[in-house]
Amino acid sequence: MATPHIEAEKGDFAKTVLMPGDPLRAKFIAEQYLKRVRQVNGVRGMLGYTGRYKGKEVSVMASGMGVPSIGIYSYELFRFYDVDNIIRVGTAGAVRDDLHIGDVVLAMSAATNTNFAAQYRLPGVAAPTADFSLLMTAYEAAQRLQKTVHVGSVFTSDVFYDDADSLKSWQKIGILATEMECAALYLTAARLGKRALTICTISDCPLTGESSSAQERQTAFRDMMEIGLQTAVEMD
């Protein structure tokens, strides 16, 4: 049963989907980590795959960039393909001073400047939050894999090239990093009664000018991939 953006059939996706923004990172994860892998989506170049990792079926599919894009793909996966868990494995810019390129962040919650939650007509301000079982499973998996992670809040922005120096303001309240999808993923999961988690690797440090290459962002950030895959294996 194809949707407007996904050509897969019912049953083509596993219960847990890893969701990088970059289609080429989805391809890399599938080819490097999954066995008996098959491509299940290619609409608009948004590559999706399903295979087996440590004996368990796992899927990986790209979300594209930004709140509207992940809002579409996560909704369709949750609503029409019976996906229970989506784990975003993306990149982020460091906000806190002690974070550096390659560090891994588990996003417990997401502050945001997006108006995505307006669709729900809530009589207040939503608080986009990770599913606790996914968060705890990922944290414990990271400890067993001996990978250092930072747990806290991120800032989901609708703006990549910000005119104002807003990151220093977010730094004041302990925001770890900035990215462009987490809040929409968490809100979509909450609305549909599903589970979501964001695992991000620091790819640049906007406040210092430190940055990584496109190739590094696509293939080098393996810690978050392996934490995400291990979390998928351990979820029911």
Q: Where do the H-state alpha helices sit in 50-166?
A: 67-80, 132-144
Is 162 in the active site?
no
3-state secondary structure of 165: coil
- Note whether 229 and 85 are within 8 A (CB): no
CA distance 219 to 225: 10
Residue in 103, 131, 204, 223 annotated catalytic = 204
- Note whether 108 and 151 are within 8 A (CB): yes
Tell me 133's DSSP state: H
Tell me 129's DSSP state: B
Task: Tell me the CA distances in angstroms from 42 to 45, 78, 94, 194, one per residue in order.
Answer: 5, 18, 32, 24
3-state secondary structure of 183: helix
Tell me 8's DSSP state: P
Extended beta strands in the chain, E state: 16-19, 35-41, 48-53, 56-61, 85-94, 104-112, 149-156, 177-179, 195-205, 210-211
What residues act catalytically? Answer: 204
